[in-house]
């Protein structure tokens, strides 16, 4: 169970014991995960075995946080803390369905309308959420947004 009383699927509270794409959640902190000190014999462990905090203030890319109130991998309070720690959050979005959970982001039958449409809107070059345009188009290409008719003023297309 988390501190908010939510059950944790498949294990202990938070991500302190496994690597996650968003870092380890340890005591309300956003930290690196490193299990190497635990692999060393006690006599060889030197220095601080506490993981380092990520320098969130140094993240300059625009960030969008999408989350759900029924997500067992995150808590709304954690998302709020993370949003206040990041310098360039352009949008936070609580999925407006109380039963939406962590797996629904990928496999939910309503993900298309509840999540993906919003992501496409954000990635749209004309979206108000894209910020001042200070980020490179390289990051949008990785998400499948391609410019067609190069040099001719072509349109943006989604490619899967």
- Assess whether 76 and 120 both reside in one domain: yes
- Assess whether 64 and 112 both reside in one domain: yes
Given 19, 37, 54, which residue is the final one in a domain? 54
Given 18, 36, 54, which residue is the final one in a domain? 54
Give residue 99's pLDDT.
97
- Assess whether 50 and 61 both reside in one domain: no
Task: Give the residue-averaged pLDDT of 19-24.
Answer: 43
Distance CA 15, CA 17 (A): 5
- Assess whether 95 and 141 both reside in one domain: yes
From the centroid of its chain, how far is CA 146?
Answer: 23
CA distances in angstroms from 154 to 1, 103, 134, 146, 147, listed in the order given: 51, 36, 21, 10, 6
Give residue 145's pLDDT.
42
Task: Give the residue-averaged pLDDT of 64-77.
Answer: 93
Residue 140 belongs to what domain range?
Answer: 57-158
From the centroid of its chain, how far is CA 151?
Answer: 34
- Assess whether 48 and 77 both reside in one domain: no
Given 23, 38, 54, which residue is the final one in a domain? 54
pLDDT band at 42 (very low <50, low <70, confident <90, very high): low
Average pLDDT, the chain: 70
pTM above 0.75, yes or no: no
Strand, coil or helix: what is 97? coil
Domain count, the chain: 2
Burial class of residue 147 (count of CB atoms within 10 Å of its CB; 0-12, 13-18, 19+) = middle
CB-CB neighbours of 157 under 10 Å: 11
- Assess whether 20 and 76 both reside in one domain: no
Query: Would the CA dihedral through 119, 24, 17, 2 be positive or negative?
Result: negative
Residue 2 has pLDDT above 60, yes or no: no
- Assess whether 65 and 138 both reside in one domain: yes
- Assess whether 74 and 153 both reside in one domain: yes
Residue 118 has pLDDT above 80, yes or no: yes
Specify whether the CB–CB gap between 23 and 56 falls below 8 A: no
- Assess whether 33 and 108 both reside in one domain: no
Strand, coil or helix: what is 147? strand
- Assess whether 19 and 69 both reside in one domain: no
- Assess whether 16 and 75 both reside in one domain: no
Can you give the C-alpha Rg of the chain in angstroms? 19
- Assess whether 44 and 64 both reside in one domain: no
């Amino acid at each position: 169970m988390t501190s908010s009383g939510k059950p944790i699927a498949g294990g202990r509270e938070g991500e302190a014991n496994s690597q996650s794409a968003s870092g380890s959640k340890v005591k309300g902190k956003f930290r690196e995960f490193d299990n190497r000190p635990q692999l060393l014999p006690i006599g060889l462990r030197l220095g601080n075995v506490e993981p380092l905090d990520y320098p969130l203030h140094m993240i300059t890319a625009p960030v969008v946080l999408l989350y759900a109130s029924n997500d067992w991998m995150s808590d709304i309070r954690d998302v709020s803390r993370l949003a206040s720690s990041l310098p360039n959050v352009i949008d936070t979005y609580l999925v407006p369905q109380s039963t939406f959970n962590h797996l629904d982001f990928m496999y939910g039958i309503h993900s298309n309308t509840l999540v993906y449409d919003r992501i496409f809107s954000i990635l749209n070059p004309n979206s108000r959420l894209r910020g001042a345009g200070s980020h490179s188009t390289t990051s949008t290409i990785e998400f499948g947004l391609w410019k067609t008719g190069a040099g001719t003023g072509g349109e943006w297309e989604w490619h899967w």
